[in-house]
A and B are shown apart, each in its own frame.
Chain A
Amino acid sequence: MKLDPAAKTALHNAGFSRRGFLKTSGALIVGFSAAGWPSRSQAQGPLPGSPAMNQLDSWIAIGADGTITAYSGKEELGQGIATAQQQLVAEELSVPFNKVNLIYCDTALTPDQAHTAGSQSHPTNFNETNLAKAAATARETLIRLGSERLGIPEAQLVAADGVVMSRSDSSKRISYGQLIAGRKFNLAVNPNAKRKDPKDWVVLGKPVVRPDLSDLVTGKFVFVHNVRLPGMLHGRVVRPPTVGALVASVDESSVQGMPGLVKVFVKKNFVGVVAEKPYQAIQAAAKLKVNWNPGKPLPNFATLYDDLRKQKGTRDTLLVDSKDVDQKFSQAPIVVKATYLHPYQMHGSMGSSCAVADVQGDKATIYSATQAVWYQKNTSAMILGLKPENVRVIFRRGSGCYGVNGADTVTYDAAILSQAIGKPVRVQLTRKEEMAHENYGPAYVLDQKAALDAQGNIIAWEHESWSPGLGGRPGANQPGNIITGYLLGYEPAPFTPRSTAPAPTAYANNSNGIPSYFAAQFNGRNQGCGTIESGRVMTHALPSAFWTGPLRSPARLQNTFAHESFMDELAARAKADPVAFRVKHLTDKRLIAVVNAVAKGINWDTRPSPKPNARRTGVATGRGMACVLYEGDNGYSALAAEVEVNQDTGKVVVKRLVAGTDVGPISNPNGLNNQIEGGALQGLSRALLEEVTWDNEKVTSFDWRTYRTLPLGFEVPKIESILINRPEEEAFGAGETSITVVAAAIGNAIFDATGARLRQVPFTPERVKAALSTRT
């Protein structure tokens, strides 16, 4: 059964594994997020006006000079996908890398491929009938046209270096430019077009240097922050000072006569100013007197997790239920329980978000770092009251967003202010506006319970978790999911309680809610990665006081922290080596392979944890590991860590990380390593330091002092990255693999070193000391 790209996206967003779905027959289910939150875009085909996805001309154009232009809906955020896509097209069309001009994410030019997110860019454009197949179709078409023009059978022709020529007589040739000369193909993309054999790759698979590096290091690169339009003015916003506060009144006279001030603009609860120079706008926004009606009191920070667990009216989802778990627990000789806690964390982009909008009458041109230009076009049109076809959104890179930062919200800010004065307006958020109002990665409470038999095998495992949510990505039509849309009067996506979770009918591990060690039998077939047949996974979604949205490895990271820490606790209980214990309960060969590769790479000391005869004061050292198949079908990752724990101060220093990664065929090993290393260190910062805090009315993490994060010069661990290249497999995403397993690997290493178990992230020195003090 073949699935068209929209269907695959719909399934993915609904939490269904592509592998699982394709192998079972079943009705096409479209559009529902299993967790009840639209934190990923709802299933949505390409929006009206998008170049047709199934037409070759939407993707590839060849000029008379032979230059190849490729159009993509997946954008470069810093993750290396532009380079990989350019390599892909160059490879499939057999031209040098620099002969391909890749244009991405401009609604006037490129197809609607929804968001660049979710580690889906490689699967979407490399596996499915999109960019890769388009380039392959173009190559086959060139051969066919060359055959007609040269009068030589196709089988005797080869496309190489921009030319179609006879294999036996290279003087019989015709260039791509001569064959196509800027005309349209007027062909459909052929889903059966033959991809180049990875054995023959000369561009793909190579560590091609990213073409933007030179501009980045010389200050020539144009970020959205650098976009300038003639006559451009500067806008700044005034956000609620406390959570949920709404405008009572605005005293425009408080800024009257300020130098360069052009306008004060208020619409419902949106407040902004426009001035000639940025500093003038900043001063006016700071000086403007706004009276606010306070919002509801915030939940108690100190009792957050207990309160989450107790909340009524949750939306419940069962991911798996073998229906015999309670029975197994009642019969088991050993039952182990543990609860894990993970805080709200923020995306914390390096540069606060920025956009430039030019709204003239009924038309708008917007430069935005949005992850979805077509959806931004639609929602900007909504808030401006314009027709979507008259709104153009052009992606310009922002600062790394790690999921969803202020890029969409500041785009609305710029658009609405530009419309208010009929001139181009650039808006950049302050550090506090970026941090206090972003859509956080939400907190999690994760209960784990498992039964062991007398031989130390896991015979049943139950997971129950709670996590709040509010809003998320604005998607194609929900601007109220983010702060500016909300202030302008749009509502966030509604929360719908559901107290009886429907019985799960298909394997859907998009959230990694199902531990890797589950067999997860559906329709008579095991679809999980492991051996455990008795299992239950129940998740509870509930309303959040703070905006939430996908933060790099959303839910997957928190679930994996719980599962991989708990697996380690079970191994300790069974007095088994953590690596051997995992392998014993795994069936997925590729997952076993990354685990073994990493164990070998770190020279894993095979024995149970904790380390015997360890000292109980001073500095202790230990090793730990964790593994996951991201989303159940999108990237194999394992990580081993060596740590030093100062048992007197509680300080943890990670000395060494060995990461193992299997994402199928590697497009660019250098780019892949950059993501693996970056993800590992970002995971380290989140595991050791990061936590959003608040008092009874406002968020208190609003700059780099109040939201702690690892700086450049911290004691960086030695990182080794082992890449397993599988050219014959489908391409997986990689940007969220290593980050998913860091917290558990470190927690497990701390346990190995000290016998103290950390169950709450971040592992601050205070928490480490508290755990040390409860050791038996």
Chain B
Amino acid sequence: MSRVLSTPPLPLTTDQGVETNLDVARKKVRAPQSDSSTIRHLTLATIPLTLVLRGTKMSAIRLKVNGREHTLDLDPTTPLLYALSDDLALQGPKFGCGLGQCGACTVIVKGQAVRSCVTTVKSVEGSEITTLEGIGTAEKPHPLQKSFIEEHAAQCGFCVNGVIMTAKAFLDKNPKASSEQIQQAMSGVLCRCYTNVRMLRAIERAGRELSR
């Protein structure tokens, strides 16, 4: 005979017990894993307030990102990555190494995959810059975004920006690339969870769709 080790059940028709801090906290939070989205809007709204020239190093830099124009008050030698991820609060490009070695920061400028951590904002002023957010959305995904989901091609996901943007720039120029060519093109990108097999398969799959 098994003994049920529970306290005698109280009827749930009456409210019981003192509300604990835990209960209060849990009531407050609806979707805590994604609550930064509201904070992001708040920050974007305050950007105009930062357009104040401070010191001699800052100047007004014009950046065209994902089809929108921004004028930011920046040191012209600022690596593009910080303008994108901090001033513009874009989440796609990421700081992996800051040395141009891993590709996590990759964006596309004038059709080229560019490592934004070693590219100054001055050098891309006026050029069209595309980040991961700019190539597609959940509702209308780019074939690469679609194929990465279908192939389950991510583990931690931190490198995904670099992999997809590098692949996109390559496939846009080489729509009929072979697996060997794709492999070559990805040889400077890092994924430390080693999702290589699925990622290469996803890129090939997207390539087939793009070249149809």
Contacts and interface: CB of A to CB of B under 8 A. Distances in A.
Determine if chain A interacts with chain B. yes
Interface in B128-182: 131-133, 136-138, 141, 144-145, 148-149, 152, 154-161, 163-164, 182
A682 B194 contact: yes
Contacts of B26: 61, 69, 71, 108-109
A217 B145 CA distance: 5
A705 interface: yes
Contacts of A684: 194
A5 to B, nearest CB: 13
A258 to B, nearest CB: 9
Interface string A129-153: 0000000010001001100000000
Interface string A190-219: 111000000000000001011011111111
A219 B91 contact: yes
Interface residues of A, number: 96
B177 to A, nearest CB: 12
B95 A225 contact: yes
A223 B199 CA distance: 20
B155 A351 contact: no
Contacts of A61: 26
Contacts of A279: 75, 78-79, 82
Nearest to B149: A213
Contacts of B29: 103, 106, 108-109
Contacts of B163: 712
A142 B119 CA distance: 59
A366 to B, nearest CB: 14
A222 B54 contact: no
Contacts of B22: 51, 108-109
Contact of B138 (A214, A280, A428): A214
A188 B6 contact: yes
A572 to B, nearest CB: 31
Contact of A217 (B154, B184, B192): B154
A312 interface: no
A223 B158 contact: yes
A183 B195 CA distance: 43
A703 B99 contact: yes
Interface string B77-121: 011001001110111101111110110100000000000000000
A400 interface: yes
A394 B32 contact: yes
B9 interface: yes
B190 A277 contact: no
A710 B31 CA distance: 37
B155 to A, nearest CB: 4
Question: DSSP class of B's interface residues: helix, strand, loop or mixed?
Answer: loop
A350 B183 contact: no
A351 B54 contact: no
Nearest to A223: B158
Contact of B75 (A106, A187, A191, A259): A259
B99 A431 contact: yes
A177 interface: no
A184 interface: yes
B112 to A, nearest CB: 18
A144 B9 CA distance: 10
A209 B186 CA distance: 25
A277 B42 CA distance: 17
B38 to A, nearest CB: 10
Nearest to B137: A218
A187 B6 contact: yes
A742 to B, nearest CB: 11
A350 B187 contact: no
Nearest to A78: B156
Contact of A222 (B23, B25, B91): B91
Interface stretch (A373-381, A471-479, A613-621, A713-721): A713-721
A127 interface: no
Interface in B49-84: 54-55, 57-58, 74-75, 78-79, 82
A348 interface: yes
Contacts of A349: 158, 192
A712 B78 contact: no
Given A192-B4, A277-B82, A78 B42 contact: no
Nearest to B183: A713
Contacts of A277: 74, 78, 82, 86-87
Contacts of B57: 259
B33 to A, nearest CB: 7
Contact of A218 (B31, B55, B96, B133): B133
Interface stretch (A160-168, A227-235, A646-654, A765-773): A227-235
Interface stretch (A575-583, A601-609, A673-681): A673-681
Contact of A712 (B3, B21, B23, B186): B186
Nearest to A234: B86
A764 interface: no
A350 B92 contact: no
Contacts of B104: 350-351
Contact of A681 (B3, B189, B194): B194
Contacts of B40: 228
B156 A682 contact: no
A544 interface: no
A21 B28 CA distance: 43
B82 A219 contact: no
Nearest to B22: A51
B36 A228 contact: yes
A245 interface: no
A269 B157 CA distance: 34
A260 B78 CA distance: 13
A138 to B, nearest CB: 12
A313 B121 CA distance: 56
A350 B191 contact: yes
A30 interface: no
Nearest to A191: B5
A185 interface: yes
A667 to B, nearest CB: 14
30 contacts: A69-B26, A77-B156, A103-B32, A108-B21, A108-B29, A145-B12, A186-B16, A216-B157, A217-B149, A217-B164, A218-B137, A219-B90, A219-B92, A260-B54, A277-B74, A279-B75, A280-B75, A350-B190, A431-B97, A678-B155, A678-B195, A679-B194, A681-B196, A682-B193, A703-B99, A704-B102, A709-B190, A711-B186, A711-B187, A713-B186
Among all A-B residue pairs, the 6 with the closest Cβ atoms: A78-B156, A713-B187, A219-B92, A681-B194, A400-B156, A713-B186
Given A218-B145, A398-B158, A715-B183, 6 more contacts: A78-B155, A219-B92, A222-B91, A677-B197, A716-B197, A716-B200
